[in-house]
């Protein structure tokens, strides 16, 4: 089953478990919102709305509120010494469609539970495995730095043996103006 919804002046074709970026709507992260402007409900027998399908809605979970990419509007009028630069970023809501409802039903699916963070295993020393893996790499990087400095020190005496650079040519004096 699919539906065509209208929100923020745009139309979207959605199916359950779709993730969409739409213009900002009210609702906290993790809550279920209902989008009531359903234009088409598709499936075995599609239903077209005039302009909207009565009793149909789409339930969606709010995943995140964020800002879109930077858009720069630059206008220039040539030969008029006139230019204008303005920019903006759209406010975006990230939603996941949970279900498509018909006949005025209420959403039956709640928000998904958040994933628990997995703790890293701890050794007897009280250190995690990732720290031990990073320590040898740091020693290698330090050794590479000292080797690079030694190479640079070996090259510097060769530079001092070169002949000094030529001096810049002297400028000619400015010509005197003839008096009237």
Spatial neighbors of 165 by CB under 8 A, at least 6 apart, are none
Tokens of residue 16, six digits: 């359950």
Say how far apart CA 177 and CA 180 lie, in whole Å: 9
Nearest alpha-carbon partner for 97 in 48, 63, 53, 68: 63
> What is the predicted pLDDT for the residue at 160?
53
pLDDT digits (tens, 9 = 90+) for 29-82: 999 999 999 999 998 899 998 999 999 999 999 999 999 999 999 999 999 999
- Quick check: helix, strand or coil at residue 98? strand
pLDDT at residue 152 in the model: 60
Burial class (CB in 10 A: 0-12, 13-18, 19+), 101: buried
Q: Is 162 in a helix, a strand, or coil? A: coil
Beta bridge partner(s), residue 35: 58
The model's pLDDT over 70-112, given as tens digits with 9 standing for 90+, comes to 999 999 999 999 999 999 999 999 999 999 998 888 888 777 7
**Tens digit of each residue's pLDDT (9 = 90 or more) over 126-178:** 666 554 555 555 556 666 666 666 656 555 555 556 666 777 777 777 777 77
What six digits make up the tokens of 170?
């002297």
| Confidence (pLDDT) at 111 | 73
Q: Would you say the pTM of this structure is higher than 0.85?
A: no
Residue 153, Cβ density class (10 Å: 0-12 exposed, 13-18 middle, ≥19 buried) = exposed
State the pLDDT at residue 56: 93
- Contacts with 180 (C-beta within 8 Å, 6 or more apart), sequence order: none
What pLDDT score was predicted for residue 150? Answer: 60
Sign, CA dihedral 16-17-18-19, equals positive
């Amino acid at each position: 089953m699919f539906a065509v919804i209208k929100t923020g002046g745009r139309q979207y074709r959605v199916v359950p478990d779709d993730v969409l970026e739409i213009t900002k709507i009210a609702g906290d992260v993790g809550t279920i919102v209902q989008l009531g402007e359903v234009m088409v409900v598709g499936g075995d027998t599609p239903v077209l709305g005039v302009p909207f399908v009565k009793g149909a809605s789409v339930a969606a979970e709010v995943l995140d509120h964020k800002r879109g990419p930077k858009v720069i509007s630059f206008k220039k009028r040539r030969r008029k010494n006139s230019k204008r630069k303005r920019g903006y970023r759209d406010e975006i809501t990230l939603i996941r469609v949970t279900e498509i409802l018909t006949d005025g039903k209420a959403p039956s699916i709640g928000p998904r539970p958040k994933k628990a963070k997995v703790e890293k295993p701890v050794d007897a020393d009280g250190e995690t495995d990732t720290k031990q893996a990073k320590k040898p790499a740091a020693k290698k990087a330090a050794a590479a730095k000292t080797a690079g400095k030694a190479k640079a020190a070996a090259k510097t005496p060769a530079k001092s043996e070169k002949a000094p650079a030529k001096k810049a040519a002297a400028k000619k004096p400015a010509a005197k103006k003839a008096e009237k």
